[in-house]
Amino acid sequence: MAIHRHDNHKSANGFMEWMDARMPVTKVWNEHLAEYIAPKNFNFWYYFGSLAILVLVIQLVTGIFLTMHYKPDAALAFASVEYIMRDVPYGWLVRYMHSTGASAFFVVVYLHMFRGVIYGSHREPREMVWLIGCVIFVALMAEAFMGYLLPWGNMSYWGAQVIISLFDVIPFVGPALTEWIRGDFVISDATLNRFFAFHVILLPLILVALVFLHLVALHHVGSNNPDGIDIYDELDEDGKPKDGIPFHPYYTVKDLVGVCGFLILYMGVIFFFPDFGGIFLEKDNFAPANPLQTPPDIVPLWYFTPFYSILRASTTTLLTFFAYSSVVIGIAAALFTKFKAPIRIGFVAAGVIAAIVFLNSSGKAWGVILMAAAIVCFFLLPWLDRSPVKSIRYRSLPFKIALAIFILAFFILGYLGMNAPTPIKTLLAQVCTCIYFAFFVLMPWFTSIGKTKPLPTRVTMKEEH
């Protein structure tokens, strides 16, 4: 018998008693909301988790209503979107909520990830929370990319063309794989139809399941906080954290304030700047897909541009630089580490081999590898970060400087990805690509040097009682 007779969650009334004997409603409510203890010092940065769930719900709901009028057919798709915009009652509102929601999703998720990095939420024991979050990020990128093909505008078409062609560089199976993904020799009706299926069924299911797992893992280890210390180190006489408060009602109410602030901005965009100056809805996508005419400046939507910049920064110049620097890093590793002689010689050999590989391979393949590596780097963060403290409040200066440079490089890459390539801009993108990877490669070093500040025993807040 699977009934948990020893649960001491008190049912509110007779009906709930009947229910709780059959389904653990009160237990789940208490464990995840009313009695889920969260640190009391959550600040502004902690809005973005609940906001991400809000945007997910908005996307699911508006998506359902869009599918009632949208036609996933290469001959009809573009016109059906225009039909939603012009003839369907409030269709424009539902569609703008969905298109703005996509960008809002990435704004919220990028800020949520940044919060994790500055307060050390990716560190032990929350590695699984972070890893599942990274998978959510990848799934979200796939969801956004496939959704972007559906209006069948010219930028939709060519964006999909570029991204699907990335798989061409995989040795041996690449061309067959791209044909299988497209379902045709070119992007066509078959591609549109299957992207629709993935966008409205497969990926939403995966996203919801991953968000569920993200919360399961989070509630198992408990929330981090802006001080990066464990509130379970300081318990009161009942064995509860002195600095903890129940998530409900304290943080549900606090998050509602965040929701209000978010909705003001979100609705402001929907009503007054729905295309956000061509950033949320690109100009070239107001023309139907044309396989014979590439748009003059083909760019993905803003949330992909940092990675897109890395992709196109990969030319012979970058590979030559990588080749020389791998030799330098190999020699430096041999000179300044304390390993045995054969291992040190191995470092130099590895550097030389890497240099030979870089000099003799094509920029095209490396562009794809680097773009993928740029995302994989996030997965490795919990193990690259060696700082004795979690929160930026107590971290050493080298980490703060490195993070600031990285964020700057990330923004510059994002900006460059939105613009047509010129020799100067390509060079700048190459410099920023090097900074991007240097941040992750050098992280074990710069997080372990410098003087960290002493940790408090209790969480700190602006107004102490």
Partner 1 sequence: MAENHVSDASVQIADEKSVEDIKRRRFITGLTAGFGAVGGAVAVTPFVLSMSPSERAKNAGAPVQYDYSKIQNGQMVKVEWRGKPVVLLKRTPEMMEGLNIISDELADVGSEASIQPDYAKNDTRSDPAKPDLLVMEGVCTHLGCSPVEKLAIGPDPQMGDDSQGGFFCPCHGSKFDLAGRVYKNVPATTNMPVPPFKFVDNLIVIGEDDGRA
Binding site for partner 1 (CB under 8 A): 1-2, 158, 161-162, 164-166, 168, 179-188, 190, 194, 291-298, 311-312, 314-317, 362-364, 367, 420-422, 426
Closest approach, Cβ 256 to partner 1, in A, equals 41
- ∠ Cα 387 444 360 (to 5°): 165
**Minimum CB distance to partner 1 smaller for 278 or for 363:** 363
Closest approach, Cβ 324 to partner 1, in A, equals 16
* Tokens standing for residue 293: 């005419």
Closest approach, Cβ 349 to partner 1, in A, equals 28
CB-CB contact of 304 with 141 (8 Å) = yes
**Minimum CB distance to partner 1 smaller for 246 or for 363:** 363
CA-based nearest residue to 333, from 324, 343, 323: 343
Closest approach, Cβ 171 to partner 1, in A, equals 15
- CA 155 remoteness from chain centre: 23
Closest approach, Cβ 193 to partner 1, in A, equals 10
**Minimum CB distance to partner 1 smaller for 46 or for 167:** 167
**Minimum CB distance to partner 1 smaller for 185 or for 272:** 185
**Minimum CB distance to partner 1 smaller for 315 or for 387:** 315
Closest approach, Cβ 166 to partner 1, in A, equals 7
Closest approach, Cβ 440 to partner 1, in A, equals 23
**Minimum CB distance to partner 1 smaller for 309 or for 447:** 309
**Minimum CB distance to partner 1 smaller for 355 or for 370:** 370
Phi-psi label, residue 172: left if phi above 0, alpha if psi -120 to 50, beta otherwise: left
**Minimum CB distance to partner 1 smaller for 152 or for 247:** 152
Closest approach, Cβ 433 to partner 1, in A, equals 13
Q: What angle do helix axes 305-313 and 397-417 make, rounded to 10 degrees?
A: 80
